[in-house]
Amino acid sequence: GAVVSQHPSWVICKSGTSVKIECRSLDFQATTMFWYRQFPKQSLMLMATSNEGSKATYEQGVEKDKFLINHASLTLSTLTVTSAHPEDSSFYICSAGDTVRGRDTEAFFGQGTRLTVV
Amino acid sequence: GEDVEQSLFLSVREGDSSVINCTYTDSSSTYLYWYKQEPGAGLQLLTYIFSNMDMKQDQRLTVLLNKKDKHLSLRIADTQTGDSAIYFCAESRANRDDKIIFGKGTRLHILP
C-alpha cells in the first residue's frame, strides 16, 4: 500500500529557531500534499495545500511567511516553521494522494510530527 | 495496537440513507471523529463525539458510538450527490498527547 513517511516524529527546539518537517511519499508520486496542524485536545486544522512545482495554497489565518512550504518534487514536501515560538508547539501531520495511479482522492497520512518549542 | 478500520467502499442510491462503519482497537479513546474529503481537497471535519456519549445528531448526520464493541458509525440521511466523497474515521486519546489515528477512509459512491 501507499506509504507516506514524515520526519522527524518528535522535535524540541528553542524559541526563535526554525524547524523543518519532511513529508515523503515512498512508493507513489503525489502532485498534492496537505499539511495539517492539531491543537491540544482539538481536531485537525488544514494549514495549506502543497502543490508540486508551484506555490502552496494557504488557508485563511495561516501565516505563509511563518510556515514555509516547499514541494520541489513529486515525492517530497517540506514544512518549515520559522522563528518558532511556544505557541507553535503542536502536532503537525501531512497527507498525500497517489496522483499517478489515479488515487489522488485517497489520503495517506504521515506519522505526524510533535513539535515542542521551549 | 492502535488501529482504526473501515470498509473501503460504499454505494448508496440518491435519497437513501448511508451508513459508514468504523471499528477501533484503543479502548481509551477520548474523541472519535468523522472527516470528509472531497476530490482534490483537504480534510473537512464533519462531526466528532466524546467517548462518554452514545449518539450525536447534527442535521442529516447521526453518529452512533458503541463503546463496548468499539464501533462507530456515521449515518447520512437523504444522501445527495454532493455527499460523494471519502469519509475518514479517526480517534484520539488524551494520554497519547491527543495524536489522531485515522482509518483508511470509505469512498461513498452515490447511485442515481
Does any CB of chain A come closer than 8 Å to the CB of residue B94? yes
Query: What is chain A's mean pLDDT, rounded?
Result: 85
Q: What is the pLDDT of residues B48-95, one digit of tens each?
A: 888 889 999 999 999 999 999 999 999 999 999 999 998 999 887 765
**pLDDT, position A42:** 66
Which among B33, B105, B107 has CB closest to A43?
Answer: B33
Does any CB of chain B come closer than 8 Å to the CB of residue A60? no
Q: Is the pLDDT of residue A40 over 80?
A: no
Tell me the chain A residues in contact with residue B33 when contact means C-beta distances shorter than 8 Å. Answer: 43
Spacing of C-alpha A28 from chain mean position = 17
Collect all residues with Cβ–Cβ distance below 8 Å to B76 and sequence separation of at least 6: B17, B18, B19, B20, B60, B61, B83, B108
Phi, psi of A2 (to 5 degrees): -70, 135
| Strand, helix or coil for residue A108 | strand
| Strand, helix or coil for residue B83 | helix
Does any CB of chain A come closer than 8 Å to the CB of residue B97? yes
Report d(CA B105, CA B85) in Å as an integer: 10
Which among B43, B48, B100 has CB closest to A107?
Answer: B43
Q: What is the pLDDT of residues A69-110, one digit of tens each?
A: 998 888 999 999 999 999 999 989 998 865 555 444 456 778
* Strongest mean pLDDT among A38-47, A53-62, B32-41: A53-62
Chain B (14-53) residues lying within 8 Å, Cβ to Cβ, of chain A: 31, 33, 35, 37-40, 42-43, 45, 48
Phi, psi of B81 (to 5 degrees): -60, -30
Check the CA dihedral B71-B72-B75-B76 and report its sign. Answer: negative
Which among B39, B45, B105 has CB closest to A43?
Answer: B45
